[in-house]
C-alpha cells in the first residue's frame, strides 16, 4: 500500500535538475527512447526499484506506421518495442511488461491470422501479463480461445466471468509476481460489452461491475496474497467528465481502495504523463494511458522501501527512435 510518495518533477533524462518534494505527487512529461533510466531514480541500500512498462490498444500494428501517416509517421512497430524492452530490462531486471487490451483488429495481420501474429509477437517481446479489450472478441469466444494458444504470458480479467466457456482455463482472475521479495498483484477489468461486442461473440461470458469486481480482487490481493503493490490493467477508458454514467479509470480509482497503478486503455488517450486520483481512503492511484497502435510505451518506476512505495516517476518512451530498429 502506498503510504508515502516523493515527487520527481523533472529528471536528468531531460537535461534538467531533479526536485524532490515529500508528500506530493506528479510525473515528468515528455518522451524519450535513447536514455531509458533516470540515474537519479535509483534504489539505495534496502530499496528496490520496480519498473512497469505498459501498452494499450496496439490494434495489430505489427509494422511501424507508414512514413506518410498524417499524425505519427514511422512510429511504432513490434521490432522497436522489442529492442526498447530489452534495453530497459538490461538496465533494470526488475521490470514487468503489461498490456491493457485491444491487441486485435486494425491491420490485415488480424484479418488473415486471427490473433496468432499479435500474441506470438507479444510472447517474443516478453510480455508478462495482459488483459482483454472488446476487440479481443471480434472472432468470438472460441476464436479468442484459439488465439490464446500462442500467448506465452498470462491473461487476466476480474470482471469477465468466463466459467463454462472455452476461456475458463486460459483467463485468470489475477496473478501475483514476486520480484526481489516484492509481491505484485496484477488483475484486469474489461468494459461492458453492450453496444461494443456482438452478443454471439460474447456468448457464455458474464460481465460484472468493474467497481464491485475491483474491490473484491484487491481485497484478495492485499489480505490473502499479501501484495506490496497492486496493479490493474483496465480496458474501460479514461474520462474526466464521463457521460451516461460511464465507469472509466478515474471512477474506479475514486471508488476502490488499494490500487497503486492503473495501466488504462480503450479511449486511445494520449497522456503526456500519469495522473493521480484519490481513493476513498485518501491514498492515491496513478493512471496512465499511452494512445494507440504501439506508438509509445509507458514507463512508471516505483521505489520500494520496507514494504511501501516511497518514490515514483513516469514518462512516455517514443518508438520512433531509429536506434531501436
pLDDT tens, position by position, 243-297:
778 899 999 999 999 999 999 999 999 999 999 999 999 999 999 999 999 999 9
Sequence-distant (≥ 6) Cβ neighbours of residue 22 within 8 angstroms: 4, 6, 7
In the prediction, which pLDDT does 46 show?
A: 80
Strands 206-207 and 47-55: unpaired
pLDDT of 39 reads 44
Q: What does the pLDDT read at residue 246?
A: 85
Contact 234, 100 (CB under 8 A): yes
- What integer pLDDT is reported at residue 91 of this predicted model? 94
Q: What is the pLDDT of residue 43?
A: 56
- The pLDDT, as a whole number, for residue 274 is 96
Q: Which candidate, 244, 312, 242, 239, places its Cα nearest to that of 273? A: 312
User: Residue with C-alpha cell 466471468?
Assistant: 161
Per-residue pLDDT for 322 more than 70? no
DSSP 64: P
C-alpha cell at 28: 515528468
pTM: 0.89
Share of the chain above pLDDT 70, in %: 85
What's the chain's average pLDDT?
Answer: 88
How far from the centroid of its chain's Cα atoms is residue 43's Cα? Answer: 23
Task: Provide the pLDDT for residue 23.
Answer: 21
Q: At residue 28, does pLDDT exceed 90?
A: no
Set of cell numbers at residue 285: 492511484
Q: Is the pLDDT of residue 215 over 60?
A: yes
Residue 64: which pLDDT band, with cuts at 50, 70 and 90? Answer: very high
Quick one: pLDDT at residue 42? 55
Residues 80, 257: Cα–Cα separation, whole Å: 36
User: CB within 8 A of 50, min separation 6: which ones?
Assistant: 94, 95, 96, 179, 182, 184, 229, 301, 302, 303, 304
Domains in the chain, CATH or no CATH each: 6-324 (3.60.21.10)
User: Is the model's pLDDT at 22 over the cut of 50?
Assistant: no
The answer, yes or no, to whether residue 131 has pLDDT greater than 80, is yes
Amino acid at each position: 500500500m502506498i503510504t508515502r510518495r516523493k515527487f520527481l518533477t523533472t529528471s536528468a533524462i531531460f537535461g534538467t535538475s531533479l526536485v524532490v518534494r515529500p508528500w506530493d505527487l506528479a510525473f515528468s512529461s515528455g518522451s524519450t527512447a535513447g536514455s531509458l533510466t533516470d540515474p537519479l531514480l535509483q534504489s539505495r541500500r534496502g530499496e528496490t526499484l520496480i519498473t512497469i512498462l505498459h501498452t494499450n490498444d496496439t490494434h495489430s500494428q505489427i509494422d511501424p506506421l507508414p512514413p506518410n501517416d498524417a499524425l505519427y509517421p514511422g512510429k511504432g512497430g513490434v521490432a522497436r518495442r522489442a529492442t526498447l524492452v530489452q534495453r530497459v530490462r538490461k538496465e533494470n531486471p526488475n521490470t514487468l511488461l503489461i498490456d491493457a487490451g485491444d491487441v486485435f483488429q486494425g491491420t490485415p495481420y488480424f484479418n488473415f491470422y486471427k490473433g496468432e501474429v499479435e500474441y506470438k509477437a507479444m510472447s517474443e517481446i516478453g510480455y508478462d501479463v495482459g488483459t482483454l479489450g472488446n476487440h479481443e472478441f471480434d472472432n468470438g469466444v472460441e476464436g479468442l480461445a484459439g488465439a490464446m494458444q500462442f500467448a506465452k504470458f498470462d491473461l487476466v480479467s476480474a470482471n469477465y466471468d468466463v466459467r463454462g466457456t472455452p476461456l475458463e482455463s486460459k483467463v485468470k482472475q489475477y496473478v501475483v509476481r514476486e520480484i526481489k521479495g516484492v509481491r505484485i498483484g496484477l488483475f484486469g477489468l474489461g468494459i461492458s460489452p453492450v453496444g461494443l461486442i456482438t452478443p454471439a461473440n460474447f456468448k457464455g461470458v458474464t460481465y460484472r461491475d468493474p467497481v464491485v469486481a475491483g474491490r473484491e480482487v484487491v481485497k484478495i490481493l492485499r489480505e490473502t496474497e499479501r501484495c506490496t503493490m497492486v496493479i490493474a490493467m483496465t480496458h474501460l477508458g479514461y474520462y474526466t467528465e464521463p457521460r451516461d454514467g460511464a465507469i472509466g479509470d478515474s471512477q474506479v480509482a475514486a471508488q476502490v481502495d488499494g490500487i497503486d497503478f492503473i495501466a488504462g486503455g480503450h479511449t486511445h488517450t494520449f497522456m503526456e504523463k500519469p495522473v493521480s486520483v484519490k481513493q476513498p481512503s485518501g491514498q492515491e492511484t496513478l493512471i496512465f494511458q499511452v494512445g494507440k497502435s504501439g506508438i509509445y510505451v509507458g514507463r512508471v518506476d516505483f521505489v520500494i522501501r520496507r514494504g511501501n512505495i516511497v518514490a515514483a516517476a513516469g514518462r512516455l518512451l517514443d518508438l520512433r527512435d531509429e536506434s531501436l530498429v
